[in-house]
Amino acid sequence: MRDHQLDRFQTQVAELLLRHRSVLDVLSKLQETSARTNRSITKAVTNCGCLKVQAGKQPFTSASNFDTAKDAVDTHLSGDLCEHCRDVVVSEMGKHLFYLASACNLLDIHMRDVIEKESEKLSTLGLFNMS
């Protein structure tokens, strides 16, 4: 996503946000859409079955490079989202981003700045500090 697309999205959200002007409404919708995103992923496992989760304890790894560490640490996930589940997950993530943009608008924060700051932080952190 280009910077100007992100800015345009945030402006669109500001223009559309009439019903949920209160910060309290925005915060509760932000939490609700986060839960709905998690639920849509869970339903891909439990209702559809296109994804499977098999989880266990993660091994301790002393690997010092990303590729070795990536192989040692399990995602606990197998399969791929089917078209239907992908549509639902993407839609729920979109709604979540809508309310994140709303929170940014209310606090006069540019989403672009949030991403830039986080990206800078990631590039200065070591491999094992990403949590």
Footprint of Zn ion (CB under 5 A): 44, 48, 50, 82, 85
Residue 44, both tokens: 């891909």
Asked if 63 and 7 count as a contact pair (C-beta separation under 8 A), the reply is no
Q: From the CB of 48, what's the least distance to Zn ion, in Å? A: 3
Cβ proximity to Zn ion: between 13 and 44 the closer is 44
Asked if 96 and 30 count as a contact pair (C-beta separation under 8 A), the reply is yes
Cβ proximity to Zn ion: between 87 and 118 the closer is 87
Asked if 69 and 61 count as a contact pair (C-beta separation under 8 A), the reply is yes
Q: From the CB of 76, what's the least distance to Zn ion, in Å? A: 17
Cβ proximity to Zn ion: between 67 and 83 the closer is 83
Q: From the CB of 34, what's the least distance to Zn ion, in Å? A: 21
Asked if 21 and 49 count as a contact pair (C-beta separation under 8 A), the reply is no
